[in-house]
Amino acid sequence: MILPFEDPRAGTNALTRRSFLFFLMRAFSYISGGQQLVPNWHLSAMAYELEQVRLGRSTRLLVNLPPRNLKSITISIAWVAWMLGLDPTKNFVCVSYSNELSGKLARDCLSIMQSDWYREVFPGTVISTRRKAMDFETTRNGGRLATSITGTLTGRGGDIIILDDVIKPDEADSVVIRENVNEWYHSTLASRLNDKKSGAIIGVMQRLHQFDLSGMLLEAGGWNHLCLPAVAQIDECIRLLGGKFHLRRAGEALHPAHESLEALARICQEMGSERYAGQYLQNPVPADGNWIKAMWLRYYGPSFDTRDGYIIQSWDTANKTGANCAYSCCITALIRGNDIYILHVLRERLEIHDLRNRTIALAREYGARDLLIEDMASGQQLIQELRRISPSGVPVAIAERATTDKESRVRGIAAMIEAGQLHLPHEAPWLPDFKSELLGFPQTRYRDQVDALSQLLARVRSRQQEPVIQNEGPVLFY
């Protein structure tokens, strides 16, 4: 069978050498006992991104696809074999969460490369007599090393490193395991490229948690990202091989012949919306939220009048400012009766001097009447600084000290959000990150915005419960 994007006049071996997609078709049939590959546009999308790596135009590629959509067969098995056929001096390191998984991928790759048809297509690529599946070499000193995150890489490196599902789905909720994997990447793997400038790292995985390895890499930036959810969430134009594009409409299944919308709906029902959102939609935050539901949120438009009510600013301050540390966050809100309108969210890593200056500037800009600052660590320093200099136009900070854990505080204010008291702007630069953290809680890496919000809402709730004092001006609470 000739794929529709190939030239049928070319010979089979020539097509196999020239076209990775044609090679993939043959390799799939070989390792699946003669089963034929059903072509789909997403294979060409992966092939396009892999071609950018082959040509040296991309050195960091992250591919997020749902399970059972050929991402491992395409990249960890077929593409490695094809690349070694083109250049038997290349060295690959392929890592998975276990030796069992990495071993299976390695055996399939080696099996293809030892087949008669492969040796006919690539006569210059010969496997040496030292042919362990987990670590085989070519006679030109190239090869493929398979290992796991618990395996050893001492003294070994690669021209291209492939990370294929480095966390088991049923272990993704473990903070310890996630942090171990992320630390392993920084401390061990990143230094194993033979050439730090031209070497490439490819991540091939499904999303499992907001701060799985994919999440950490995306947050760091610098990665080409191919993200193909099982059901398209937005209209998207996706690049394919040969200068072509695929226009994918919101609501379309990724590969209808493989998994229809009806089949995906059943999968969602069986595994639950939370896991389905990560593994199949590649968005670990469910669209409807975890503890806080999206349907509870209310929105206001650009014509909203902010003159009626009073302003509260709630700060959650961080102790350190390193790249992997938490942020300092300030939520500015207008309180009107029982309703809370979020006007602005600041989220930055700030040293104490900058933190003090930003606090003063924001309080003056919005005319804050109350400043809520938790009386802990850096918050204590900030409170002391503000009271020491007593800047004009800035209220004395209210020292809030939490008496319960973060989860209990969020549960305590969830009813206010469910009752429709929280209002967000329809559009704001900070809104996507804020909603992602709010709806994803407690399965989020950072919680500074949620902490600042829960502190704010708890304060509003306490004021609503206080007796009304007639004929008196506004009361400041210290």
Per-residue pLDDT of the chain (478 residues; tens, 9 = 90+): 344 444 554 589 999 999 999 999 999 999 999 999 999 999 999 999 999 999 999 999 999 999 999 999 999 999 999 999 999 999 999 999 998 999 999 999 999 999 999 999 999 999 997 668 889 999 999 999 999 987 777 678 899 999 999 998 888 878 888 889 988 898 888 788 999 889 999 999 999 988 899 988 998 889 999 999 999 988 899 999 999 999 999 899 999 999 999 999 999 888 877 788 889 999 887 667 888 998 999 999 999 998 889 999 999 998 766 655 678 999 999 999 999 999 999 999 888 889 999 999 999 999 999 999 987 778 888 988 888 888 888 887 777 676 677 788 888 889 999 999 999 999 898 998 899 899 988 877 788 999 999 999 999 988 766 544 333 333 332 2
pLDDT at 346: 96
**CA distance linking residue 384 with residue 386, whole number of Å:** 6
Nearest to 457 by CA among 324, 360, 357, 316: 316
- 3-state SS, residue 137: strand
pLDDT at 342: 97
Burial per residue of 409-429, b for 16 or more beta-carbon CB atoms within 10 angstroms, e otherwise: bbeebbebbeeebbbbbeeee
Residue 378 in contact with residue 317, Cβ under 8 Å? Answer: yes
pTM of the predicted model over 0.85: no
pLDDT at 10: 54
Nearest to 83 by CA among 163, 41, 23: 23
pLDDT at 220: 87
pLDDT at 470: 38
**Cβ-Cβ contacts under 8 Å for 124 (sequence gap 6 or more):** 88, 140
pLDDT at 395: 86
What is the token pair recorded at 355?
């933190």
